[in-house]
Chain A
Amino acid sequence: MTEQTQVLTSAAAERGPLAMEAISVSKDFRIGRRQTLHAVRDVSFNLYRGAVVALVGESGSGKSTAARLLAGQERLTSGAIRLDGKPVEVTSRGDFRRYKSYVQLVFQDPFSSLNPVHTVRYHLQRPVKLHQGKAANVDAEVSALMEQVRLTPAKHFLAKYPHELSGGQRQRVSFARALAARPSVLLADEPVSMLDVSIRLEMLSLLDDLRQRFRLAMLYITHDIASARYFADEVLVMYAGEIVERGPAEEVTQQPAHPYTQLLVASAPDPDNLGSALRSRAHRTSAQDTTHRQGSQAPHKPESATTVGCPFSPRCPLADDRCHREDPALVQISATRGAACWRLDVAAPELVSGSPDDRRTTAN
């Protein structure tokens, strides 16, 4: 598996120099006496300066755990993280603080990630003092941050408490707080999913602006694969702790190879598919629908606890015996694309046809 992923070049690589590497990162949680939950399994990817990598998956797929591992908030069970080529060892509080000035995390919920008893000024002054030292001109720095996230006029907002701000404004404060450390890597965990649809776009374009301006290496975690198409360079699709598909954003969203990615894409609201999907369900018998119904009949929680077979096999319409027995490794489809599926020849024949497929023999 490791060899496979190393051969694969990231679609984000051309944007800038390598900033952060996750190398076969795994995280297990013990639940109960005998059970282990493999929240993240053998996940590898790279983040590049000035590029956005999207991590897409449903609740419980392990994408937030992956972000916390990269942020140094959880210890790895196995694997390694490298920052600018140097292995990351976070063992003390001091280490953690130094690490945080390179890697910052923005949370999903701007309502609970800001302290309700502190003003905007306090939220921004603290990280500036902590990460930029006593020499910094704190007030000037705070106003500059507010301008960067377009919370203007800064004076108007500095004395406000979180409850006096709208959701979008709160999330801007979170962004500003993350930027106060002058990080090179920004991990954004569902940064817009709590916001109104009309505000989301503005926030994403703000993030994009910050990415360009500070050449941030960005990990964008989301369950909305459509926003990943517009915002990210590379998309990683995660299911039950594993990356099941990866590749350039446009390719993955337009021609999904893995059955799970296909399910995700089919599930996204689609106004261009007007009238054909939901409103006249009775007449619907398309292949997408079959995928969807199949998917929905299976248990909703990804079965992270089981280790046998492909994690998606209980929900997969194409699963055969082998899928239930063996977990597929990431198979390279092109120089920048890969998918972990035994049945790619059936799931995405147009993608693998022509390439020799000697990995499996047909079931019948």
Chain B
Amino acid sequence: MSANPDHAPTFIAASPTAPGPGPNPVLEIQDLSVVYRTPGGDVRAVDKVNLDLAAGEVIGLAGESGSGKSTLVYGATRLLRAPALITSGSVRYSGRRMVQGADPADVLRMRPDELRRLRWREIAIVFQSAMNALNPVLSVRDQLLDVIHAHLRMPRDEARERAASLLDLVGIPRSRLRSYPHELSGGMRQRVMIAMALATEPEVVIMDEPTTALDVVVQRDILSQIVELKERLGFSILFITHDLSLLLELADRIAVMYAGQLLEIGTAEQIQHEPSHPYTRGLLNSFPSLHGPRRELAGIPGSPPDLRNPPPGCPFLPRCGYGTAACREVDMDLLPVTASKAPGHVTACPFVLPQTSVPGKSGTPESQPETGGELGT
């Protein structure tokens, strides 16, 4: 449906910047730290994170629940409320519509009116749960019109036409404009969310687990639609998910997050073929693959650390198969992976070479012999 070029709305011009990483990042997150103030002490949810997003790029942010990936992006867009507190860092945004030659604007220092212009118009978000993010008592059309009128100056007729062509864009028949969220399937709701995010031609689209609640066929369908739209409209994507297998297919670059810190950044190829951080390797060994030979799966035993008083050094140490005493003194800076040929591949683990194999840990269902009582009791 989306492949049909006749349905392409004419009002959104193709991006003048070619897709692919350019020299100037659209979004530059530097040294960002976010804590949650609790009676039991500060929870360091995001700890000195550096990440930049180039124009037209798809960056995948991978991590388990509680790793701080959502806090990172909501912090960078100033969507957090107390008790969350941004304690350091800067977030610079420089989009096409900003004044040429001017310094990039720091999102963290913006006044409310500047933020209002930034949000949605420049940076839009597709939230995880489409049922909760859509208003149940407004029709799809009204919700789209709401966005359009709030962020763009546009005559009513034009806005209505735009709402309709936004649905074309995501492959939903125009007759659905009058539908209410409960009348749509999960996949359709998620498409409506994407249409809403794209309503104002944003330059950066943040997607927070947009397909987690959907089943695989619908998921693939929506993902390929996202990629297609990205190529046509030229926005950049920051894609948050706990499913690394998805990112390997979708993202240009992948940032792996654990306990509030980035542990490794690299292209999808680098992450897949030369994973450098033990945690990344653990993640890669966690999902069953459908194609190719059956691999030995290991998973990652243990659970993430308590971020109220994080252990010194590497936060992954208690779960790491390679851990040594030196790991307690690692300063967690992202350093280039020396063995990697291409630049841009950085890791927080200075000890593990890409070639080293992962020591065997808890067995896979198949690798366990039919003995049973080897555990616990």
Measuring CB to CB, which residues of chain A are less than 8 angstroms from any residue of chain B?
58-59, 144, 147-148, 150, 152, 166-168, 196-202, 204-205, 208-209, 212-213, 223-227, 229-231, 250, 253, 263-275, 277-279, 281-282, 292-293, 295-297, 300-301
Contacts and interface: CB of A to CB of B under 8 A. Distances in A.
Interface string B110-135: 00000000000000000000000000
B308 to A, nearest CB: 15
Contacts of B227: 278-279, 281
A268 B246 CA distance: 9
Q: Which 7 A-B pairs have the closest CB atoms?
A: A271-B248, A201-B299, A208-B365, A226-B290, A230-B288, A267-B220, A223-B215
Contact of B372 (A213, A226, A277): A213
Scoring A150, A197, A225, A226 by chain B CB atoms within 10 A of each residue's CB, the highest score goes to A197
B365 A204 contact: yes
Interface string B254-265: 000000000000
B367 to A, nearest CB: 9
A226 B297 CA distance: 13
A300 B66 CA distance: 33
B364 A198 contact: no
A198 B283 contact: yes
A277 B246 CA distance: 11
A169 B218 CA distance: 29
B269 A270 contact: no
Contacts of B244: 197, 271
B297 A212 contact: no
Nearest to B292: A272
Contacts of B333: none
Interface in B61-90: 64-66
Prevailing SS type, chain B contact patch: loop
Contact of A209 (B64, B215, B372): B372
Contacts of B249: 269-271, 273-275, 277-279
A282 B231 contact: yes
B119 to A, nearest CB: 28
Given A270-B249, A271-B244, A281-B228, 10 more contacts: A152-B376, A198-B242, A201-B299, A226-B288, A253-B290, A269-B243, A282-B228, A297-B1, A300-B185, A300-B187
Interface in B176-199: 185-188
Contacts of A199: 64
A34 B289 CA distance: 44
20 contacts: A197-B242, A198-B299, A201-B286, A202-B299, A209-B368, A209-B375, A212-B368, A212-B370, A226-B289, A227-B288, A229-B288, A229-B290, A269-B219, A272-B291, A277-B249, A278-B250, A279-B268, A282-B231, A300-B187, A300-B218
Contact of B185 (A208, A230, A231, A301): A301
B30 interface: no
Interface in B283-305: 283-284, 286-292, 294, 297-301, 303
A277 B272 CA distance: 15
B177 to A, nearest CB: 18
Scoring B250, B289, B364 by chain A CB atoms within 10 A of each residue's CB, the highest score goes to B289
A223 B252 CA distance: 27
B224 interface: yes
B287 A226 contact: yes
B368 to A, nearest CB: 7
Interface in B146-205: 185-188
A79 to B, nearest CB: 26
Contacts of B362: 202, 205
Contacts of A292: 220-221, 224
B373 A58 contact: no
A236 to B, nearest CB: 16
Given A277-B249, A278-B227, A208 B368 contact: yes
B216 interface: yes
Given A200-B286, A209-B368, A269-B249, A264 B216 contact: yes
Interface of B: 1, 3, 58, 64-66, 185-188, 215-221, 223-224, 227-228, 231, 242-246, 248-250, 252, 268-269, 272, 282-284, 286-292, 294, 297-301, 303, 362-366, 368, 370-373, 375-377
Nearest to A301: B185
B363 A205 contact: yes
A275 B268 contact: yes
B358 to A, nearest CB: 14
A182 to B, nearest CB: 16
B368 A196 contact: no
Contacts of B248: 269, 271, 274
A212 B217 contact: no
Given A205-B364, A230-B365, A279-B249, A264 B217 contact: yes
A270 B290 contact: yes
A147 B248 CA distance: 36
A296 to B, nearest CB: 4
Contacts of B287: 197, 200-201, 226
A204 B297 CA distance: 11
Nearest to A208: B365
Given A197-B287, A281-B227, A58 B294 contact: no
Contact of A58 (B64, B215, B284): B215
A271 B215 CA distance: 18
A58 B297 CA distance: 25
A225 B216 contact: yes
A187 B237 CA distance: 40
B250 A279 contact: yes
A198 B282 contact: yes
A225 B215 CA distance: 11
A148 B375 CA distance: 8
Given A225-B216, A229-B290, A282-B231, A201 B250 contact: no
A269 B242 contact: no
Contacts of A226: 287-290
B217 A267 contact: yes
B363 to A, nearest CB: 7
A3 B286 CA distance: 41
Contacts of B368: 205, 208-209, 212
A300 B297 contact: no
